[in-house]
Amino acid sequence: MAPARSGNTVFRAIADPTRRAILDRLRAGPVNAGALAADFRQSRPAISKHVRVLKEARLVTETRLGRERLYAIDPVPLQNVAGWLEGYRSFWQTSLDRLKRNLEGT
Amino acid sequence: MAPARSGNTVFRAIADPTRRAILDRLRAGPVNAGALAADFRQSRPAISKHVRVLKEARLVTETRLGRERLYAIDPVPLQNVAGWLEGYRSFWQTSLDRLKRNLEGT
DNA sequence: AATATATGTAACCATATAGGAACATATTAG
DNA sequence: CTAATATGTTCCTATATGGTTACATATATT
């Protein structure tokens, strides 16, 4: 497999619905691993591995507090995705315009 | 596996760098399968399968012209991703503000 | 010190994914 | 009709992914 350019890890990280849900959960504020896992139906190790992927993508930061670990969101790498999307914004604009024109009979 | 909510297929589709490259290529205009594959180092079947994933995500449309097939981009499903990102835009704004404040020593 | 708690890691499994070579199908050219 | 062309599909392989249970490690509690 390719060396996983840092850009790609973000796209890969958000590809999984559980990981997106974790990010959504972290938007409400930092939580420790146990509380986070409790919000999901998967096992704690499963969530732990998802968190690891998110950490590798720099989307989640970890703060150790005694035996606990607090996870918090870092949305900055998402700008990568936003940037990529920018290149398509004009396209879907014109797609919508075209649709609108068609609906209006030109 | 989960029933693959239509939203998720888009995230999954753009997770692969080759597929993003295909979309980027299609932004320059529609191409037929052969021309498209010629632009990549992978085999034609490999590209064909990537295109299939993109079609399932409704990101690519196919037009049959005799024995050729023209592929074109349909960026509309990307709005799904853009919409999801919106929920984070304010966050990275404040992240950057915080960084800026720190750099400015306040 | 001994026990309990919080959490990651290892080992293992099933399935998904990406890729290639060979084959099937459809359409156009001669 | 037959050959050539454009393209998808099948089959197979290797690796990645997501998940679980059992185990390891670190920190707190008593």
Chain A residues touching chain B at CB-CB below 8 Å: 2, 5, 8, 11-12, 14-15, 17, 20, 23-24, 27, 73-76, 78-79, 81-82, 84-85, 87-89, 91-92, 95-96
Closest alpha carbon to B79 in A62, A95, A41, A39: A95
Contacts for A39 with CB less than 8 Å, ≥ 6 apart: A25
pTM of the predicted model as reported, rounded to 2 decimal places: 0.87
Per-residue confidence (pLDDT) for residue B1, from 0 to 100: 41
Which portions of chain A are predicted below pLDDT 70? 1-6, 95-106
Contacts for B56 with CB less than 8 Å, ≥ 6 apart: B9, B13
Could you report the per-residue pLDDT of A16-30, keeping only the tens digit for each?
A: 999 999 999 999 999
Q: Is A3 left (phi over 0), alpha (psi -120 to 50) or beta?
A: alpha
Judged against a pLDDT cut of 60, whether residue B4 lies above it is answered with no
Could you report the per-residue pLDDT of B45-95, keeping only the tens digit for each?
A: 999 999 999 999 999 999 999 999 999 999 999 999 999 999 998 887 776
Give the residue on B whose Cα is nearest the Cα of A6.
B17
Could you report the per-residue pLDDT of B23-42, keeping only the tens digit for each?
A: 999 999 999 999 999 999 99
